[in-house]
């Protein structure tokens, strides 16, 4: 197998911190491959949660962990890989890699970027950190606040492109395929799907799930270790785990616990109402767009300060949140019992996603101009 150092074709390097950033970068990476088949693609990760899940991703020719940031590592990495174009996703600022790319005159883009006032770039002592921003040829930001923050420190090579995750979830929805075992479980009944949940989330919606066995509930914990699955089964004693359900699909259990990775973004399609976890503690809310793209109202906890889309989806009427878990649980029950309100919220969720697609086209139009 050819190593990256033996490659003689032009090379695109994309770096993603973890799996979430990869899902942001993926639409651009795949569009680039389609438009520039002459390029090889190098994909790097910082986190095992990205690398371990996508290390066999067919859309890249080389997939590695990015070596720790340092002058020698950065110089050696760039010397070996020789990228013609580099793309970092969302918020990766590896000082020596950025400086090495700049010193070698290699164009560098930051896509789906989000900036906040509390970042060091925008502090009085931020001049040193601003030098890293000056290594980027262009910024493609998710929101107006990010654009204005960059402009406030004299950076104007920036465009409000939006969030490529919208393009990604639309692509997933368009290629959706039924899951016969899930359809058999649902039995044409109303369905509640809770994805990427933590114990705090389950404490919130458990009273609703237990009080309504006539509604089929599907719960996909973020952590699928044996310990966490056992905890879910203890919390929901009338549930069955998916791996066991496959062997005995005739069971009439009202609750299904998903104990695998890779199925969740397809499960939301079966729901009438969805819940997305991570917003009760400091973990951070998980991907609400995977549910909203199917026109499903989304419920979640109150802690999502870094996720503008969570705030905007609530404002649009497609999502619901509350500081009180009991009140949020009550809202789930209310929406299930009011068909007109449910229909209105469902339409709002779907329209929200449709109104935010197109970031990939904006980014690719820029790359196309720079490559010509």
Whether 142 and 88 map to the same domain: the answer is yes
Q: For residue 90, name the pLDDT band (cuts at 50, 70, 90).
A: very high
**Per residue in 110-168, pLDDT tens?**
999 999 998 889 988 778 888 999 999 999 999 999 999 999 999 999 999 999 999 99
Whether 135 and 180 map to the same domain: the answer is no
- What pLDDT sits at residue 307? 87
Whether 243 and 204 map to the same domain: the answer is yes
Task: Decide if pLDDT at 1 tops 80.
Answer: no
Give the count of domains, the chain: 2
- What pLDDT sits at residue 192? 98
Task: Decide if pLDDT at 23 tops 60.
Answer: yes
Whether 135 and 264 map to the same domain: the answer is no
Whether 22 and 149 map to the same domain: the answer is yes
Q: For residue 372, name the pLDDT band (cuts at 50, 70, 90).
A: low
- Which of 64-73, 231-240, 277-286, 323-332 bottoms out in mean pLDDT, i.e. has the lowest? 277-286
Task: Decide if pLDDT at 354 tops 60.
Answer: yes
Whether 224 and 81 map to the same domain: the answer is no
Whether 136 and 190 map to the same domain: the answer is no
Domain encompassing residue 26: 4-163+357-371
* Structural domain includes residue 106: yes
Long-range contacts of 316-321 (CB under 8 A, 24+ apart): 316/348, 316/349, 316/351, 316/352, 317/344, 317/345, 317/348, 318/292, 318/345, 318/346, 318/348, 318/349, 318/350, 318/351, 318/352, 319/288, 319/292, 319/349, 320/345, 321/279
Q: What is the CATH number of the domain that holds 30?
A: 3.40.50.11720
| Entry pTM | 0.88
**Per residue in 188-243, pLDDT tens?**
999 999 999 999 999 999 999 999 999 999 999 999 999 999 999 999 999 999 99
State the chain's mean pLDDT as an integer. 94
Whether 65 and 194 map to the same domain: the answer is no
Which pair of structure tokens corresponds to residue 48?
């095992």
């Amino acid at each position: 197998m050819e190593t990256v150092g033996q490659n003689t074709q032009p090379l695109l390097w994309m770096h993603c911190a973890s799996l979430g950033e990869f899902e942001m970068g993926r639409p651009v990476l795949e569009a680039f491959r389609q438009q520039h088949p002459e390029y090889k693609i190098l994909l790097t990760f910082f986190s095992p949660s990205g690398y371990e899940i996508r290390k066999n991703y067919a859309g890249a020719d080389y997939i590695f962990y990015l070596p720790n940031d340092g002058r020698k590592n950065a110089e050696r990495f760039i010397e070996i890989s020789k990228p013609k174009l580099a793309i970092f996703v969302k918020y990766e600022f590896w000082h020596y890699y950025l400086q090495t790319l700049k010193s070698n005159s290699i164009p560098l883009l930051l896509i789906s970027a989000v900036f906040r006032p509390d970042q060091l770039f925008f502090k009085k002592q931020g001049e040193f950190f601003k030098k890293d921003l000056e290594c980027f040829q262009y910024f493609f930001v998710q929101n107006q606040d990010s654009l204005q923050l960059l402009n406030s420190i004299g950076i104007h090579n920036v465009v409000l492109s939006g969030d490529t995750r919208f393009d990604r979830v639309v692509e997933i929805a368009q290629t959706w395929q039924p899951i016969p075992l899930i359809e058999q479980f649902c039995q044409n009944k109303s369905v509640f799907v809770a994805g990427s949940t933590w114990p705090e989330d389950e404490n919130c919606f458990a009273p609703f799930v237990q009080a309504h066995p006539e509604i089929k509930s599907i719960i996909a914990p973020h952590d699928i270790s044996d310990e966490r699955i056992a905890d879910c089964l203890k919390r929901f004693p009338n549930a069955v785990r998916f791996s066991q359900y496959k062997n005995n699909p005739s069971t009439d259990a009202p609750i299904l616990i998903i104990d695998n990775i890779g199925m969740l973004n397809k499960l939301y399609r079966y729901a009438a109402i969805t819940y997305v976890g991570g917003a009760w503690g400091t973990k951070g809310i998980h991907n609400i767009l995977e549910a909203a793209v199917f026109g499903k109202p989304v419920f979640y906890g109150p802690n999502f300060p870094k996720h503008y889309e969570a705030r905007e989806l609530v404002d649009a009427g497609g999502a619901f949140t509350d500081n009180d878990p009991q009140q949020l649980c009550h809202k789930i029950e209310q929406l299930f019992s009011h068909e007109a309100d449910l229909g209105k919220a469902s339409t709002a969720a779907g329209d929200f996603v449709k109104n935010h697609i197109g970031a990939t086209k904006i980014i690719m139009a820029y790359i196309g101009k720079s490559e010509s």
